[in-house]
Structure 1
């Protein structure tokens, strides 16, 4: 009987040891697979493109905070920051139009995610508005429509979330994305047509003396967004770092930056009678300028430390875009912008506070849905 008990214990111990060994092996295999997947993802990551997104994110804050009419320096920096919005569309096209294939539900899932983010922000704004009305004892029937008004208003450049027009334009781009992929072999023709329409509108604006684009909200300026989206895709399929030296790219990019400042300043005052950067997106010179920026940055060789920094910053770019106008509303109560120095204070305050807020928000499980697409 003792022998049977001893044998049973030994068998149980052996089984337990074998199960533990098997579980350990399985866990090790899974961890190795996950590490391999992560390493593969990092290896295929385009850090240069992420750098463009980061610079575009900084530039879009500059567009809204540098107060171009204060000085010639402000005006010059403002015009240079004008590459931001086209660069966002180009970087998206760079990735999407060079995918091997697209699942039928891909675009719809992206659209749902965008709408989800817009709804969450609209809900947050609506709750804040309701709370404020209760405090002031000013409740009325208007509170019933604040949520749909904020939601749809943001998508068409209205209300507190006016900057969400970009989300509305992105929804349209994702909606036509499968169609563009179907005619991927004709992307060059699509780009030529959309660029031609844009340049024609730009020339017409110079002739009539006002920007024609002002009569169409940014959400629906599809000729511009399709043109830049497709242009990004074409650059992605033709970019060759070795073909042109980085120094030549740098010289061209610097010259184009100088040219764009002079061009937009002169044309804005002389012909358009309007100096906002958004009314130059259709200019042929602006398109060439964006191409020079992309080819220069994509041609850079980045070291490990720079890649690590980019990897940490890149995930917050969309969040900074979404939050910075709301941060501006707060900061402008403490910073009075009446000089070059104060405009820099305003710019850096908004950029830094927005970045810190997004970093913090991404650490909170539910809240991070507000700043991630």
Structure 2
């Protein structure tokens, strides 16, 4: 199975919309309205899911293949357009102290973990991340995480090398995470509460090692390079 590559189809669709998105973003007012509209739809889907489960119906996302959940993809894509603006980066750096930003990120990270484990295990009946992309807390965490990383100015050469090493293997980790989870499932109940928090660490470390080895050969390198 290779369903983890659903995002390639989503990227193709988004790029088809790029001429229109580019035209809209020339007018900041309309760009903001469109982005807010996408987020309203996302939050609406998330709230509706709670009602659907209460009525013993499947989650809304299960009716739409992940590639075609355009309301969600557009929301994140357009949000990235705003977060990438240099003036916004400077405003965040000037208005929010780094230590405050870090504290907010840590608090949101804890909230996200507790929320998803509880809702996934006790209410939704699934802990798959795709059913939480429309959630307000998840989106707030994503914004906080990426704005925090974006404000960092790395000067230490050793740290820069570590970041570069990790970043080139990122696609490889993503490409093989499905198969690593499959191997885990043969031995552990990786969705159990006691083991759940260790899964990302295991997948990240093992995925980095395998991806690094595959990149040593010019033929296998194509499997982990995007």
Q: Please confirm whether the aligned pair reaches a TM-score higher than 0.5, indicating the same fold.
A: yes
**CA shift at 1:353, angstroms?**
3.4
How far apart are residue 246 of structure 1 and its match? 0.4
1:61-72 aligned within 5 A: none
User: Which of the residues 139, 149, 174 maps onto 2:15?
Assistant: 174
Matched, 1:288 2:140: yes
Does residue 51 of structure 2 align to residue 201 of structure 1?
no
> Mind listing any 5+ residue stretches in structure 2 that lack a counterpart?
none
Whether the 8 Å CA contact 1:253–1:292 is kept in 2: the answer is: yes
Residues 202 and 211 in structure 1, CA contact (< 8 A), matched pair in contact too: no
CA contact (8 A) 1:337 1:346 kept: no
Q: CA deviation at 1:280?
A: 2.1
Partner of 2:112: 260
**More relative contact order in 1 or in 2 (CA 8 Å, sep 6+)?**
1
Contact 2:173/2:203 (<8 A) preserved: no
Equivalent position SS for 2:110: helix
Q: Secondary structure at the match of 1:369?
A: helix
Q: CA deviation at 1:223?
A: 0.7
- Counting matched residue pairs gives 213
How has the CA–CA distance of structure 1 residues 255 and 372 changed in structure 2, closer, same or farther, with 3 Å as cutoff?
A: same
* Native 8 Å contact 1:191 1:231 kept in 2: yes
Q: Does the CA-based 8 Å contact 2:38-2:75 persist in structure 1? A: yes
The answer (yes or no) to whether the contact 2:181–2:203 under 8 Å persists in 1 is yes
Q: Is the 8 A contact 2:120 2:127 kept in 1?
A: yes
What is the TM-score with the length of structure 2 in the denominator? 0.79
Distance 1:330 1:205, change over 3 A: closer
State the partner residue of 2:32: 188
* Residue equivalent to 1:129: none
Partner Cα distance (1:273, 1:250) in 2: 32
Contact 2:112 2:137 in 1 (8 A): yes
Q: Distance in 2 between matches of 1:264 and 1:217?
A: 21
- The structural deviation recorded for 1:265 is 4.7
Structure ID, larger Rg: 1
The CA distance in 1 between the partners of 2:221 and 2:6, in whole Å, is 21
Counterpart CA distance in 2 for 1:259 and 1:351 is 22
**Residues of 2 paired with 1:341 and 1:299: CA distance?**
34
